[in-house]
Amino acid sequence: MISYEVALGLIVIGTIILTGSLRLTEIVEAQRGAWFILYQPFAFLLYIVAGLAEINRTPFDMPESESELACGFNIEYSSMKFALFMIAEYAHLVTVAALTTTL
């Protein structure tokens, strides 16, 4: 399994260097004149690709392997375990989306 946290972390470091702060509010305020996507378009594209891979969305959803089983690896889960698994997956999706909006 490939880990994309390293790529996401290195991309965020570029934003931290431009801002000079780790606070999300200061990062947002630093973009008042121009968004950082204008300064770092390649980093933004890498962040989008790594973010999609991290949340296991198309075309990076290979760990699920839905074609081999009826519903992928989560066929083992039912009821509350399945619900918690799906809630965690969508919470991860919302977190990546929120960081994309902020950074």
The predicted-structure confidence for 29-39, as pLDDT tens digits, reads as follows 999 988 989 99
Q: pLDDT by residue (tens digit) across 24-62? A: 999 999 999 889 899 999 999 998 888 888 887 777 666
Q: Count CB-CB contacts under 10 A for residue 54.
A: 19
Which residue from 3, 25, 30, 33 is spatially nearest to 14, judged by alpha carbons? 30
CB-based contacts of 91, cutoff 8 Å, min separation 6: none
| pTM for the whole structure | 0.73
